[in-house]
Amino acid sequence: MSHSFRSGFFEGVRRAAYNYMKLIRQRIHWLITPYHGSNRVSRWFRQHIENRPIQELVGIPLAGLAFMAAVIVPQTQAGFESTELYFNTPKTIMNAAVSDSRFQWPLASFGISQDFSGVHPGMDLTDPAGTPIHPVADGTVAYAGTILMGYGKHVIVKHNDTLESLYAHLSQIDVREGQTVTKDTELGAVGATGWATGNHLHLEIHVNGVATNPLEVLPELKAQN
């Protein structure tokens, strides 16, 4: 099999897989899109279960049904959205504005593959593997470690009593717990550890323990010319 034939074959497989995942994501999105104050899955369960006599509900795993409607379906959508990162990782398109602000973006230039939302409490910033990551502000490393799934290798920096930031899916960690860091400190590098389908940084900002859109805290972003 020639090199050109193999390249064409695998490109065809890649595009077919991407189109298939895109179709599934569209169906999932339709299911959980707000509809009369709820998503269609939750609405269906309420219509078919809420008004039924309790005797008819014996043996029905209500907790499991509620969990599926409220948690599994939204998380499934988030999973399919992140899958697009592997097939269609955007090129670097954003530049972080340079300013004297107390805050900064952890990467100077990056793409945005997924925004902040109710089922995704952060932003996914794409850059090549190994790109250095800096804290959004001065602070102290509250956690630096690894979990096999989820965040993978990640770091949490405590900036003050009300503000923390999290950096996930790192390929390496270059700080330790308790270390004082500045905006110039390299926390680690962009990677794809944990639940990730491509090289990116998952960034979260927590204010008083509540996940907050980084766009509301960090400096303005400008599209690259």
pLDDT digits (tens, 9 = 90+) for 10-19: 555 666 666 6
**pLDDT above 70 for 2:** no
Average pLDDT on 62-78 reads 47
125 within 8 A of 106, measured Cβ to Cβ: yes
pTM, whole model, 2 decimals?
0.61
What is the rounded CA–CA span in Å between residue 151 and residue 67?
A: 22
Task: Write down which residue in 87, 110, 134 finishes a domain.
Answer: 87
Most confident range (mean pLDDT) of 33-42, 47-56, 84-93 is 33-42
CA distance readout (Å), 216 to 7, 187, 205, 210: 43, 22, 10, 13
pLDDT confidence of 222, banded at 50, 70, 90?
confident
Task: Answer for the pair 65, 49: CB distance below 8 angstroms, yes or no.
Answer: yes
**Are residues 58 and 73 both part of a single domain?**
yes
- Asked if 219 and 136 touch (Cβ cutoff 8 Å), the reply is no
Dihedral angle over CA of 168, 169, 173, 175, nearest 10: 0
- pLDDT at residue number 76: 43
217 in the same domain as 189: yes
> Contact, 139 vs 159, CB < 8 A?
yes
As a whole number of angstroms, the distance between CA 29 and CA 19 comes to: 15
Cα gap 188→51, rounded to integer Å: 54
Number of domains in the chain: 2
State the average pLDDT for the chain. 76
Give the residue from 51, 68, 87 where a domain finishes.
Answer: 87
List, in sequence order, every beta strand (DSSP E) within 73-225: 94-96, 109-114, 123-126, 132-133, 139-146, 153-158, 163-170, 172-173, 180-181, 188-189, 200-207, 210-212, 221-223
- Residues 82 and 132 grouped into a single domain: no
Q: pLDDT tens digits for 120-179?
A: 999 999 999 999 999 999 999 999 999 988 999 999 999 999 999 999 999 999 999 999
If asked whether residues 111 and 211 sit together in one domain, one would say yes
Q: Are residues 27 and 67 in the same domain?
A: yes
Answer yes or no: do 210 and 102 share one domain: yes
Residues 197 and 104 in one domain: yes
CATH number of 146's domain: 2.70.70.10
Range of the domain at 127: 94-223
Q: Are residues 201 and 155 in the same domain?
A: yes
Residue 197's pLDDT is 86
CA distance 100 to 87: 37
Q: Which of 56, 87, 118 is the last residue of a domain?
A: 87
